[in-house]
Homo-oligomer: A and B are copies of this chain.
Amino acid sequence: MREAYHVELEQLADHLAAMSVQVADAMERATRALLEVDLGLAEQVISDDAKVDDARAQCEEQAYALLALQAPVATDLRTVLAAIHAAESLERMGDLALHVAKAARRRHPEPVLPDAVRPYFAEMGEVAVKLARQTEQVIKSKDVEAAKTLESDDDQVDDIHRHLFTVIMDREWPHGVAAAVDVTLLGRFYERYADHAVSVAKRMIFVVTGKMPGYGSDDDI
């Protein structure tokens, strides 16, 4: 039974790694759709989101089967539950990428972002996608050290996000209220995505090693 458990847990981890790639790709494309005003890419992210939802359902079924058939206890039980939580966060990350893509589509052919804030989103997007890809690496390499850079990367997103607010709130903001509202919501989507990515990566460390690193702070607003 112990061996079957570990084989099944490894398969579950593989599926979660694949989900990490899916949501990293989704956010990468959504960010390009946003920055390059690319309707085709936005549409692709929107139609691909159902696959992320399916992947989550599959991971959950697999975890349920593992619980029902192996009845793990102690650390093994927590590991499977960590996987269920990770799948939930990954699906949510997919939703957030979807929101970015929908914003790009809603304003098309106009750009959503005023030029002045494009660099902030380019950077937040890059770091957010990197975080999602790191979770995949943590699983493949089982290299927990690699995962420790995650929190400092997340701090970077929080810093940009905070700075973005000072830019919008500046009395000189010349782009009007509608643009400010779009930028506010988009900033929040990236911040939440990065936050979920950190939480997923930590749970992945647990799935891979059976040890949970400390919880980071929740979103900072």
Whether A185 is near chain B, meaning CB under 8 Å from some CB there, is yes
Copies of this chain, complex-wide, total: 2
Contact present for B77 and A73 (CB under 8 Å): no
- The chain B residue with its CB closest to the CB of A175 is B177
| A181-B178 contact, Cβ under 8 Å, with A77-B67, A95-B218, A102-B221 | no
Interface size in chain A (residues, C-beta < 8 A): 30
Q: How far is the CB of A162 from chain B (nearest CB, A)?
A: 13
Interface of A: prevailing SS: helix
Shortest distance between the CB of A219 and any CB in chain B (Å): 8
- A residues neighboring B (CB under 8 Å): 64, 67-68, 71, 73-74, 77-78, 81, 84-85, 88, 95, 99, 102, 165, 168-169, 173, 176-178, 180-181, 184-185, 188, 218-219, 221
- 7 further contact pairs, Cβ within 8 A, besides A64-B77, A180-B181, A184-B185: A68-B77, A88-B88, A95-B219, A99-B221, A177-B180, A180-B180, A181-B184
